[in-house]
Amino acid sequence: METTRQWNTAEVNLDKKYGPQINGEMVEPVNGYINAVNASTGEVLAQIGRGGKEDIDKAVGAARAAFPAWAETPIEERSMLLNKIADALDENQERLKLIESMDTGRAIHEFDLDYKLAINQFRYFAGAILTHYEGESRPVDNGYLITKKEPLGVCAQIIPWNVPMIMASFKLAPALAAGNTLVLKPAEDACISVLEFGKIISEILPNGVVNMVPGIGDEAGQALIDHPDIDKLAFTGSVPVGRLVGKTAGERLLPVTLELGGKAPHIVFPDVDIDTAVENATLGYTFFNGESCILGTRLLVHDDIYDEFTEKLIERAKQIKIGPPTDRSTRLASLINEKQGEKVLNYFDIAREEGAKILYGGNRVTVPGHEHGYFIEPTIIEAEPNMRIAQEEIFGPAATITRWNNVEEVIKMANDVEYGLAAGIMTENMENAFVVANKLEAGSVWINSYFNFQTGAPFGGYKNSGVGREYSKQALNEYSQLKTIVAAYKRPPLGTFL
């Protein structure tokens, strides 16, 4: 499919308006609509509902009404329906990729991975649920003990704008498989693909099982977090908002899953093939336009190869094509909006003020026909590990690079941040790799191949990177509760308690 030209909304058949999806149908939002714009051109793609408390009330009510029947649906049927969702997502993925590329500003080729992960999530949980209910059962004195797993109830789920379909699948698939109903609040900055997916789901699942309410975080998101009839909170986003969600969960004693920020180290040993290591490192800091919490943005390179590695890293950065998001040859495209673009550029100013050295990049680029967008050069910054640029999440296509000389030093350096979501290691020596991997404070460690997601591998973070795990069978436990039943064959004889 030719994608080097600019696409418009008519060619992907978008609705003019996307209201909340409640009880199987799209409804008018109480507070009206807001514009959803093409990240790189500024074109209005559609209007999305500005959901508020009344919309959330209706959505939670629909989910509550649908819960008993869905919880009692045989697991074989839930499994079959999840596979139908996977099939439908597979069939519609090319159109949804294009929508998502325009909505987020990301290069369209990246969505091949996004949709592979999303489709696999539904297929994985369609299978995993069939063995989830293995519990403990054993004879006890005068009876039998049974433990069983039950769904939690109505789940509130809030997802970010950077990888909409990945985030939607991470939340929806395990919750549905475990027998929960839910209200999903997608991000106002990029949610059209998710709302289109919601329309597809409504043709497969019973009414009220999945409800979606778009809107602004302080309005729809806050109303959902605060709703008194929610049984579980799940949030992916920033640490400050995650703390607020966690505080609410703590006050109400609700189970919570939080996937928050990251500042991943990517450790390079001196025994690597430098050319392939540079390629892996470049992927690790530029994919997703740099707008991801799992990026390997802290390159820690051994002193013996530091100069050669850095020189080749810069040369590789110069080769990266910056261009229109819907061009399949583009490798770096537009950030989500002006606010994010200015935030990234401001971090480069902070780096200079701290004494860090920008070795390459650091500038906004103009792409003809897409002047609205914030296209940022791949940026490489030589920095000390205690500098803000090496400690805080930039959320743009930038990496710091720092020297190290001994293993204990680099482990300390790698762990010396508030986050612990992901990490990378590159070495030919697997003993080095596993010694270091076991000492890193990170939920996922990828050796020699960054972003090496494997279906069924738990995903989540240490420290301020979150609470709980997704993307694995562990997620079914996050959306379930245990019940113990002890049956006595005979009642105690008279006089036992006298």
Q: What are phi and psi of 246, to 5 degrees?
A: -65, -35
- Establish whether 259 is a catalytic residue: yes
- Which helix (H) or strand (E) segment holds residue 310: the answer is helix 306-319
Per-residue model confidence as pLDDT tens digits over 213-229:
999 999 999 999 999 99
Per-residue model confidence as pLDDT tens digits over 117-175:
999 999 999 999 999 987 788 999 999 999 999 999 999 999 999 999 999 999 999 99
Q: Which of helix, strand or coil describes residue 50?
A: coil
Alpha-carbon span 422 to 414, nearest angstrom:
11
Per-residue model confidence as pLDDT tens digits over 29-54:
999 999 999 999 999 999 999 999 99
Percent of the chain clearing pLDDT 90 (strictly above): 95
Q: What's the Rg (C-alpha) of the chain? A: 24
9-260+465-483 belongs to which CATH class?
alpha beta
Contact 469, 459 (CB under 8 A): yes
Q: What is the pLDDT of residue 9?
A: 60
Residues 6 or more apart whose CB falls under 8 angstroms from that of 283 comprise 450, 451
Structure tokens at 415: 């762990």
* pLDDT surpassing 70 at residue 283: yes
Burial of 129 (0-12, 13-18, 19+ CB in 10 A): buried
Q: Which of helix, strand or coil describes residue 401?
A: strand
- Establish whether 155 is a catalytic residue: no
Residue 8's pLDDT band (cuts 50, 70, 90): low
Residue 274's nearest CA partner among 317, 305, 302, 295 is: 305
Considering the entire predicted model, what is its pTM? 0.95
* pLDDT surpassing 50 at residue 349: yes
Structure tokens at 133: 């209910």
Note the Cα 491 to chain centre separation in Å.
52
Mean pLDDT of 460-478: 96
Fold of the CATH domain 265-447: Aldehyde Dehydrogenase; Chain A, domain 2 (3.40.309)
End-to-end Cα distance, the chain = 83
* pLDDT surpassing 60 at residue 5: no
Q: What is the pLDDT of residue 146?
A: 93
Q: Where are the domains of the chain?
A: 9-260+465-483, 265-447
Structure tokens at 327: 């061009």
Catalytic residue among 293, 382, 393, 478: 293
Contact 66, 210 (CB under 8 A): no
Residue 3's pLDDT band (cuts 50, 70, 90): very low
Whole-angstrom CA distances from 331 to 99, 102, 287 are 18, 15, 8
Per-residue model confidence as pLDDT tens digits over 355-365:
999 999 999 99
Q: For the CA atoms of 299, 305, 306, 307, what is the dihedral angle to 10 degrees?
A: -140
Mean pLDDT of 322-338: 97
Alpha-carbon span 367 to 208, nearest angstrom:
44
Catalytic residue among 100, 110, 196, 259: 259
Note the Cα 455 to chain centre separation in Å.
15
Residue 6's pLDDT band (cuts 50, 70, 90): low
456: left (phi over 0), alpha (psi -120 to 50) or beta: left
Alpha helices (H) along 133-184: 164-177
Per-residue model confidence as pLDDT tens digits over 238-275:
999 999 999 999 999 999 999 999 999 999 999 999 99
Q: What is the 3-state secondary structure (H, E, C) of 225-241?
A: HHCCCCCEEEEECCHHH
Alpha-carbon span 483 to 51, nearest angstrom:
36
Mean pLDDT of 370-399: 98
Note the Cα 383 to chain centre separation in Å.
28
Q: What is the pLDDT of residue 487?
A: 95
Alpha-carbon span 363 to 479, nearest angstrom:
44
The b-or-e profile of 150-171 (16+ CB within 10 A means b, else e) is: ebbbbbbbbbbbbbbbbbbbbb
Mean pLDDT of 184-206: 98
Q: What is the pLDDT of residue 11?
A: 77
Structure tokens at 305: 């190869």
- Which helix (H) or strand (E) segment holds residue 48: the answer is strand 44-49
The b-or-e profile of 235-269 (16+ CB within 10 A means b, else e) is: bbbbbebbeebbebbeeeebbbbbbbbbbbbbbbb
In the predicted model, what is the mean pLDDT of the chain? 96
* pLDDT surpassing 70 at residue 1: no
